Amino acid sequence: MKKIKTTPLAPQEFEVEQISENEANIMAYPFETGYAVSLAHPLRRFLLSSSVGYAPIAIKIEGAKHEFDSVRGMLEDISDFILNLKEIRFKLNDESTESEINYSFVGPCNITGADLSNDEVNIVTPEAPLATLNEDSTLNFSIKIAQGIGYVPSEDTYEELEDGYIALDAFFTPVRSATYKIENVLVEDNPNFERVVMNIRTDGQITPVDAFRNSLEVMYAQLAVFNSEISIKTPITVERVEESADLKKLTTSIDSLGLSARSFNCLDRSSIKLIGEITLMSTNDLKNVKNLGKKSYDEIVEKVQEFGFAVGADLADDLATALKKKIEALKA
């Protein structure tokens, strides 16, 4: 008689194959039949729709009133100039969410992405062409660069623009392609298990591994509503939970939340070192942490939710038990 399972096998192997600076294969295995595609498909969607990037959202060009205008001495008309600009990928050096950058060029010259790099912004596509200026021509322009996700049409990038600015369609997504394939893998003489191989290629604003990590965080955050509202009871043993991804995340240091110094110090002084300790607290317990103000409380709640959990969450009994056991062991 074949062994009858009560829980699916949880994958234990994770590998990253770095193909180039902007391309990588991310692999995980072994999955039960059908499980690999069930996880890979939504992750691909999150990679393409929720990865944060930078893009120009408005431009003002001296001597040009609209996108069908032209500038004396510039080979390209304004519409071609804007199309070229959209192919240049920006990254603000101070990681701010929006900035306005001014440029001035005197011909004759060929302007490329590399010419737009300065202390405020880094260009990750330096060879991309922008414009060609004839002798004695001058080009002055200002670009508004913003951070966002997905695609935003020009009518939505700004409610109201300053005089002279032209609103631009913005394509923020730094992930250029995300594909996956499912391969069979052998487990204990059974060839029917699966391995997912996800290929991620970015434009250079973000590494493939960081893009994958961000998509996981978004996915966890979307699922967190179920953790906070539904008590899920599952017949999983404590030993099994001790190997789970959730337990590994919950026993991660609070450093991973990216808290402000004030919020972090309040938790640290109260000997709260792990994310799981916060999820085991009630909202009142957290509010009563010494010197923790409302602003810090709200920040901690938000960061924990972004991590895929919730303050005061009703964790499954087996997960809660394993978590308390792990915390005691780590603090012993």
User: Pairing state of beta strands 52-61 and 166-167?
Assistant: antiparallel
| DSSP 3-state of 174 | coil
| DSSP 3-state of 286 | helix
**What's the mean pLDDT in 31-46?**
91
Pair 61, 163 in one domain: yes
Our count of domains for the chain comes to 3
Pair 178, 31 in one domain: yes
pLDDT at residue 1 tops 70:
no
Q: Summarize pLDDT for 8-36 with one digit per residue, the tens.
A: 888 888 889 999 999 999 999 989 888 88
Pair 273, 183 in one domain: no
Residue 221 lies in a domain: no
Q: Which pLDDT score, from 0 to 100, does residue 317 have?
A: 66
What CATH number has the domain bearing residue 185? 3.30.1360.10
Residue 223 lies in a domain: no
Q: Which carries the bigger pLDDT value, residue 54 or residue 311?
A: 54
**What's the mean pLDDT in 58-71?**
88
Residue 296 lies in a domain: yes
Average pLDDT, the chain: 84
Q: Which carries the bigger pLDDT value, residue 133 or residue 319?
A: 133
Cis ω before 42 (30° cut-off from 0): no
Q: Which domain holds residue 177?
A: 1-51+173-216
Pair 61, 159 in one domain: yes
The torsion angles phi and psi of 166, rounded to 5 degrees, stand at -110, 120
pLDDT at residue 142 tops 90:
yes
- H-helix or E-strand spanning residue 133: strand 129-133
Pair 311, 327 in one domain: yes
- H-helix or E-strand spanning residue 154: helix 154-157
Q: What is the pTM of this model?
A: 0.64
Q: Summarize pLDDT for 211-258 with one digit per residue, the tens.
A: 998 888 888 888 877 765 555 444 434 444 344 667 777 888 888 888
Q: Which pLDDT score, from 0 to 100, does residue 242 have?
A: 44
Pair 250, 329 in one domain: yes
pLDDT at residue 68 tops 90:
no
What CATH number has the domain bearing residue 163? 2.170.120.12
